[in-house]
Amino acid sequence: MKPLAIIPARGGSVRIPRKNVMQLNGKAALAYPISACISSGIFETTIVSTDDKEIASVAKLNGAEVDIRGQGLSDGTATIHNVVEDLLNRYLLSGSVPEYFCIVYATAVLVEAKHLKESFELLKASETDAVLAVKEFDLHPYKALELKNKVLSPAFPDKFVLKSQEYPKYVAPAGAFHWMRTASFLHNLRSIWSINRLPYVLNSHEAVDLDEPSDIELVKRLLFAKEHMF
């Protein structure tokens, strides 16, 4: 069985209401990662897990299968890993479970099919159990300033004075996708971050998440640039 692409997409969103189905350059945000998954050709199926009728409709319209979450997985306390565990356990009961799966985030609108294919090849060629899409920090964490009582001070005083070439290499999750070997995931449900994983590094223009309203215009511009590249 080929891998599964699992796109978790709840209806609720605090900072950007209805962001999974908001229109970005003429398409719903959710349509972009669905398209990347399908066009990659590496997945058995692309499944959108949701509790929302409009999201389900958008998912089907763009070629994805829909898995309607049970009531226990529909509130804000359920994690993505809870949702994935439930889905994979049902595959196990049916007797057909993929060796690999990929969690693709619903607002990863800049992810391309090549990113999914390259990261999958990285996972298969290694002895690791997961590959996570990451990005470099725009500013290194050691440059963080802490604001207390209207006064600024270095958050890491002993590190703040280091030269940039002395900084350790830090990256952050890109909010794009996360590959895992199914067996390892199911055997490590209580300690997911103990799983061995490799990074797949995305460039800054490939990893803008829709977390804040200010991200919307940037994402629209990047999508426009991609669509008009020659």
Could you report the per-residue pLDDT of 213-224, keeping only the tens digit for each? 889 999 999 999
> Which pLDDT tens digit goes with each residue over 167-180?
999 999 999 999 99
Residue 161 Cα distances to 146, 152, 153, 154, angstroms: 15, 15, 12, 9
Q: Which 3 state secondary structure label does DSSP give 148? A: strand
- Position 95 scores a pLDDT of 86
Q: What is the DSSP annotation of 190-207? A: T-GGGS-EEEEEPPGGG-
Element (H, E) at 4: strand 4-9
- Position 230 scores a pLDDT of 47
DSSP secondary structure letter of residue 105: -
Residue recorded with tokens 């990451």: 134
> Which pLDDT tens digit goes with each residue over 61-111?
999 999 998 877 877 778 899 999 999 999 999 888 999 999 999 999 999
Q: Kindly list the domain boundaries of the chain, sorted by start residue.
A: 4-135+171-223
Q: What does the mean pLDDT of the chain come to?
A: 93
Q: Both tokens of residue 7?
A: 């796109």
Question: Between 78 and 32, where is the model more confident?
Answer: 32
> Which pLDDT tens digit goes with each residue over 124-159?
999 999 999 999 988 999 999 999 999 999 999 999
Residue 65 Cα distances to 47, 77, 131, angstroms: 5, 24, 24
Confidence (pTM): 0.93
CA-closest candidate to residue 112, choices 21, 190, 200, 211: 200
Q: Are 218 and 150 in contact (CB under 8 A)?
A: no
pLDDT at 59 over 60: yes
Residue 186 to residue 180: CA distance in whole angstroms: 10
Residue 164 to residue 128: CA distance in whole angstroms: 30
Average pLDDT on 35-40 reads: 98
CA dihedral 189, 190, 194, 198 (to 10 degrees): 40
Q: Are 88 and 102 in contact (CB under 8 A)?
A: no
Domain 4-135+171-223 annotated CATH 3.90.550.10:
yes
Average pLDDT on 14-39 reads: 94
